Amino acid sequence: MQDRYPDPETFSTGILFESLGRKLELEPVTDTGGYNRMVVSPDISRPGLCLSGYTYKFMHDRIQIFGETEITLLKQLSPAERTAAVANVYSFSVVCAIVTKGLTPPDELVAAALESGSALFSSPQDTTPLIHDLTHYLGEVFAPHVSLHGTLVDIYGEGVLVMGRSAIGKSEAVLGLVERGHRLVADDLVRVRRAGNRLIGTGDALIGFHMEIRGIGFVSIAELFGVGATKEMQSVDLVVRLLDADLTDETDRSGLEENLMAVLGVDIPLVEIPVLPGRNITLLLEVAAMMNIQAKDTGCTSAERLNRKLIARMGRKRLRD
């Protein structure tokens, strides 16, 4: 499935080539090997300074980009100087390197990459756009992430993460939402990663858009309801926790108190719904999502608006008395 990023723990040069090679139009310059070298940093490096001899703080654990500057610099040197310049870079363990703009890498560079067994790619793309795409991709791969037990569904564009103990009825409630035209993102296991101050949720590639419904078994939502009933990725905008009714503390019935749940350091509004026989959880999830949308649009909740009206009415009454 698209938009599922490789695990940073096992993110190697080979996986980078497989997943991004087509988009960046990468071609191996020659068979250097080094595909098992790990990409450990979301940043990239321009090795120009290192080539010219300033190796202090050279970021060898980043992907090296040889753009026009670097290649022109190398071409101006004599073969012996070129070998020395390239050696400045390849005396370190280089993750991999990309020569951009369709430039031909000098023989000394190819030889050094071969000798150190570090992958060397070329791309016809311009340097800045390539760096942009590469950094964006690496940023996504290395974003902080966590796997949560819950079900993520898109309700009117609002990403609602339904949580609660197993067998409390998360899947059934979300199945009801799908039947009403909302879209399933992930059932049972939601991978959440942080992008800036937003949380993005996806499912597991293997599980896909299957749901496990007790008594029926695995249900393929995409096959049963069509692709319109599924969504690859979705921001997480609201967490709804389903609670056993007897465990629910009846502290707040008015909805005036705003609860938050921190996920990867981002605070997400949290609504806790006691599950009681006869309650239509599907409907309540839909209402919770709509209220969250409204609260964001208007800057305050309906409870706050109602309360303001009430306080104003009491004020007028006191003036009359």
Partner 1 sequence: MVELVVTVPNKLGIHARPAAMIVRAAVEFDSEIWLESPADKVNAKSIMGVMTLAASGGTSVTVSAAGDDETTAVEAVADVIKSGFGEEMI
Q: What are the catalytic residues?
A: 149, 170, 188, 253
Least distance in Å: CB of 248 to partner 1? 12
Give the C-alpha separation, 244 to 128, whole Å: 54
Least distance in Å: CB of 272 to partner 1? 15
> Which of the residues 84 through 103 are near partner 1 (CB under 8 A)?
none
DSSP E strand boundaries for 88-150: 96-99, 119-122, 145-149
Report angle CA 63, 112, 19 to the nearest 5 degrees: 35
Least distance in Å: CB of 316 to partner 1? 9
Helix axes 68-76, 79-90, angle to 10 degrees: 140
Is 310 among the residues that bind partner 1 (CB under 8 A)? yes
Least distance in Å: CB of 287 to partner 1? 17
- Spatial contact of 167 and 208, defined as CB atoms under 8 Å apart: no
> Which of the residues 20 through 39 are near partner 1 (CB under 8 A)?
none
Give the C-alpha separation, 219 to 212, whole Å: 6
> Which of the residues 192 through 211 are near partner 1 (CB under 8 A)?
none
Q: How far is CA 59 from CA 46, 93, 246, 266, in A?
A: 9, 10, 57, 30
Q: How far is CA 201 from CA 9, 75, 164, 238, in A?
A: 19, 47, 17, 12
SS3 140: helix
Q: Which is closer to partner 1, CB of 75 or CB of 313?
A: 313
Q: Which is closer to partner 1, CB of 1 or CB of 256?
A: 256
Per-residue x/- mask for partner 1, residues 218 to 257, rule CB under 8 A? --------------------------------xxxxx-x-
- Residue of 291, 259, 262, 263 lying closest to 272 (CA atoms): 259
Least distance in Å: CB of 262 to partner 1? 24
Binding residues for partner 1, rule CB under 8 A, total 16
> Which of the residues 112 through 171 are near partner 1 (CB under 8 A)?
none
**Window of 5-13, 95-103, 222-230, 310-318 that interacts with partner 1 by CB under 8 A:** 310-318
Residues forming a β-bridge with 163: 241
Structure tokens at 282: 């599907």
Residue 272 contacts by C-beta under 8 Å, 6 or more apart in sequence?
A: 240, 241, 243, 248, 259
- Spatial contact of 188 and 234, defined as CB atoms under 8 Å apart: no
> Which of the residues 246 through 305 are near partner 1 (CB under 8 A)?
250-254, 256, 303
Q: Which is closer to partner 1, CB of 1 or CB of 312?
A: 312
Q: Which is closer to partner 1, CB of 128 or CB of 254?
A: 254
Q: Which is closer to partner 1, CB of 80 or CB of 311?
A: 311
**Window of 29-37, 126-134, 200-208, 306-314 that interacts with partner 1 by CB under 8 A:** 306-314
The distance in angstroms from the start CA to the end CA of the chain is: 68
Q: Which is closer to partner 1, CB of 179 or CB of 252?
A: 252
Least distance in Å: CB of 296 to partner 1? 21
Residue ranges binding partner 1 (CB under 8 A): 250-254, 256, 303, 306-307, 310-311, 313-315, 317-318
